Structure 1
Amino acid sequence: MSTLLEVSGVSVSFDGFKAINNLSFRIGQAEMRAVIGPNGAGKTTFMDIVTGKTRPDEGRVLWGERSLSLLGLSEAQIARAGIGRKFQKPTVFEDQSVHENLLMALQGPRGPWSVLFYRPNAADLARVGELAAEIGLADHLPRKAGELSHGQKQWLEIGMLLAQDPRLLLVDEPAAGMTPEEREHTTAILVEAAKTRAVVVVEHDMEFVRRLNCKVTVLHEGAVLAEGSLDHVTADKRVIDVYLGR
């Protein structure tokens, strides 16, 4: 499988503290990956570097078939290159309907005002229907996003990211605060998405990670401590000592 994203020898310090320490990581074109590790392991900083929010002190971050360096690009340029990120707290337009939220996302970063004067075509409306079905909100299209449950808002935000057709989706703790049923549905959404794109999930919930049934990367002190199946990494004595044994 050809590599989509390659992070190589990346380090970054904040006030003398090495948040990322010679980190190397790669993911293929259509692959699911879980990233786990204790608090302060560098999971969020890793996502910040890939999305251009944080500039590393050294190392390379290469993207796509042409090995484009992401380090010189702005956050907006990286998003346009095909990297989407979902933060822990869902950010949806609460006063707009599910339908309007998805339609706005299809329009890309043109802002809410342009949507007021925009007339969707048949292809856009069909795509909104497809996305709503994919995230399990087809019956909720007319509802205001603010009325949705926490889990449904998370799904809507994933749908809004998928509307922009990213090649890599970075998802931060999607299972947090969800009911068991919502967690199960979230798993299904992400597993389906990973059939056609790369999906990296940062998560603490081991049961959720097990359901994803994918390769796991364990970070510790800003570097990769172990990598492999969940059973493989959870049997690793170093992982038990620094993370699971706590």
Structure 2
Amino acid sequence: MSTLLEVSGVSVSFDGFRAINNLSIQIAEPELRAVIGPNGAGKTTFMDIVTGKTKPDEGRVIWGDKSISLIGMSESEIAQVGIGRKFQKPTVFEAQTVQENIVMALKNPRGPFDLLLGRKDADQQDRVNAIAEEIGLRTVLDQPSGVLSHGQKQWLEIGMLLAQDPRLLLVDEPAAGMTPSEREHTTDLLRRAAQTRAVVVVEHDMEFVRRLNCKVTVLHQGSVLAEGSLDHVTKNQDVIDVYLGR
């Protein structure tokens, strides 16, 4: 496993409040990582920095085999190098079918020979079917996305991100508002996705994190408080103090 993303010594302040304070995190490829921490710990700001939404005041954010600096790149440029982000509230095109949503998201090199030979359509349909199978929506491809359950919309959005074939997937609180069976399916989906890429899940729900069965990074006041398995970090006295507010 090689390091895919290295966040090193990053700090950022908003109106004098230090949201991220000398934060250093390394994510490998492939890897599944959970990022937890109380409200205000810096979890969302960490994702904002990686995706270019927020520029840090200091530190480095280094990406990929060629050690590209992400700082100063636009959000769309960062998406193009292979970083996908799923926000807490699903954003799918509700009037369009599940199939159409996935097709719109597909990463397609539109070469003239592909068009001439009609290769694209068959390949594209195979890819759509594979993604729909992966996210558990193969049977509802022709349904408008607006009629899906909350959990299904979350899976569709993950599928739309997978269609872009990112090397790093950032997922914000995927279990929120899901039924127990939907949460179980989501865990399986994220674990499978992390076999071939890096997946970072920001989550509050400890039971969900336990089912992910992965390395956990605990943030507090904008820096890493502890790192390791969930059992390891939950036995850490500093983590206990922070979570129980002692």
- TM-score normalised to structure 1 length: 0.94
- Alignment match, 2:111: none
SS at match of 1:219: strand
- 1:53 deviates by 0.1
- 1:244 deviates by 4.3
SS at match of 1:19: strand
Q: 1:139 to 1:133 in 2, by over 3 A?
A: same
- 1:157 counterpart letter in structure 2: E
Contact map agreement 1:234 1:244 (CA 8 A) in 2: no
Contact map agreement 2:226 2:239 (CA 8 A) in 1: yes
Same amino acid, percent of matched pairs:
77
Q: How many residues align?
A: 237
Contact map agreement 1:11 1:58 (CA 8 A) in 2: yes
Moved over 3 A (4+): none
Q: Distance in 2 between matches of 1:228 and 1:57?
A: 28
- Alignment match, 1:31: 31
**Mapping of residues 93-112 of structure 1, within 5 Å:** 93-106=93-106
User: Once superposed, what is the RMSD of the aligned Cα atoms?
Assistant: 1.4
- Alignment match, 2:68: 68
**Mapping of residues 101-140 of structure 1, within 5 Å:** 101-106=101-106, 121-140=121-140
- 1:235 deviates by 0.5
Listed as ranges, the gaps of 5+ residues in structure 1 are 109-118
- 1:120 deviates by 5.7
Q: Distance in 1 between matches of 2:134 and 2:177?
A: 21
**Mapping of residues 5-16 of structure 1, within 5 Å:** 5-16=5-16
Q: Distance in 1 between matches of 2:245 and 2:234?
A: 10
SS at match of 1:59: strand
- TM-score normalised to structure 2 length: 0.94
SS at match of 2:157: helix
- Alignment match, 1:83: 83
The yes-or-no answer on 1:21 pairing with 2:15 is: no
- 1:72 deviates by 1.8
Q: Distance in 2 between matches of 1:245 and 1:200?
A: 26
SS at match of 2:30: coil
Q: Distance in 1 between matches of 2:78 and 2:29?
A: 17
Q: Distance in 2 between matches of 1:6 and 1:107?
A: 25
Contact map agreement 1:12 1:21 (CA 8 A) in 2: yes
Q: 1:181 to 1:93 in 2, by over 3 A?
A: same
Listed as ranges, the gaps of 5+ residues in structure 2 are 109-118
- Alignment match, 2:162: 162
- Alignment match, 2:187: 187
- 2:156 counterpart letter in structure 1: L
- 1:152 counterpart letter in structure 2: Q
Deviations along 1:32-64, one digit per CA (max 9) or x if unpaired, are 000000000000000000000000000000000
Q: 1:107 to 1:83 in 2, by over 3 A?
A: closer
Q: Distance in 2 between matches of 1:81 and 1:37?
A: 28
